[in-house]
């Protein structure tokens, strides 16, 4: 056996050569009672990841669909969440700051403020809010559902198991759904 072959096998086994080529893949499917699910994964082995995701959907009573089967039910949006207790800025001032920076929407509930942006404007809005000294509970671009599905308690438990099992997969980065919790 040639020395080059032996040396290459040793390098590959020791991890000296980085042959990993990760790619981003999006899977779409349906969970319990037609809940739309989008799974974003980053993998170096497309076949393994597809099999793992399909297995989780099958075990949880859902089914993996084709590309585009549920993505029309979601919009990509930048979401920034700020805890009310972490800021002493007045709600109106915060809203004006966010809207002037390019935010699309501003909403408030009893615990936090939620700012929605177009993905292209997300960085500029986040930077403007950071410059104002605001701290974020959450700040990322997400898939936001346009419609929601309500589930019974029993179906909700099944759906939660599906989401948990998908989150447990090593290659899965994000799981989005339109289940109204």
Query: Is pLDDT of 43 > 60?
Result: yes
Separation CA 128–CA 109 (nearest Å): 22
Other CB atoms within 10 Å distance of the CB of residue 53 = 23
Separation CA 117–CA 79 (nearest Å): 7
Beta pairing partners, 83: 112
Same fold, 21-72+146-177 and 75-144: yes
Instruction: Place 17 in a pLDDT band, splitting at 50, 70 and 90.
Output: low
pTM: 0.80
Q: Render pLDDT for 96-134 as a digit per residue (tens, 0 to 9).
A: 999 999 999 999 998 999 999 999 999 999 999 999 999
Domains of the chain: which residue ranges? 21-72+146-177, 75-144
* The domain defined by 75-144 carries CATH number 3.40.50.300: no
Q: What is the pLDDT of residue 61?
A: 87
Q: What is the pLDDT of residue 57?
A: 94
Provide CATH code, domain 21-72+146-177: 3.30.70.980
């Amino acid at each position: 056996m040639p020395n080059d072959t032996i040396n290459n096998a040793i390098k590959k086994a020791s991890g000296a050569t980085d042959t990993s080529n990760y790619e981003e893949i999006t899977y779409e499917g349906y969970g319990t009672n037609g809940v739309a699910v989008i799974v974003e994964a980053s993998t170096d082995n497309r076949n393994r990841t597809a099999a793992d995701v399909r297995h989780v959907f099958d075990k949880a009573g859902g089914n993996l669909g084709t590309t585009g089967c549920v993505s029309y039910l979601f919009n990509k949006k930048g979401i920034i969440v700020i805890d009310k207790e972490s800021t002493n800025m007045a709600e109106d001032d915060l809203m004006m700051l966010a809207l002037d920076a390019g935010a699309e929407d501003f909403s408030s509930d009893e615990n936090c403020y939620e700012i929605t942006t177009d993905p292209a404007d997300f960085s500029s809005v986040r930077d403007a809010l950071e410059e104002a000294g605001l701290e974020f509970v959450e700040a990322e671009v997400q898939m936001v559902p346009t419609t929601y599905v309500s589930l019974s308690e029993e179906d909700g438990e099944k759906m939660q198991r599906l989401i948990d099992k998908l989150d447990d997969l090593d290659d899965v980065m994000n799981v989005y759904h339109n289940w109204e919790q």
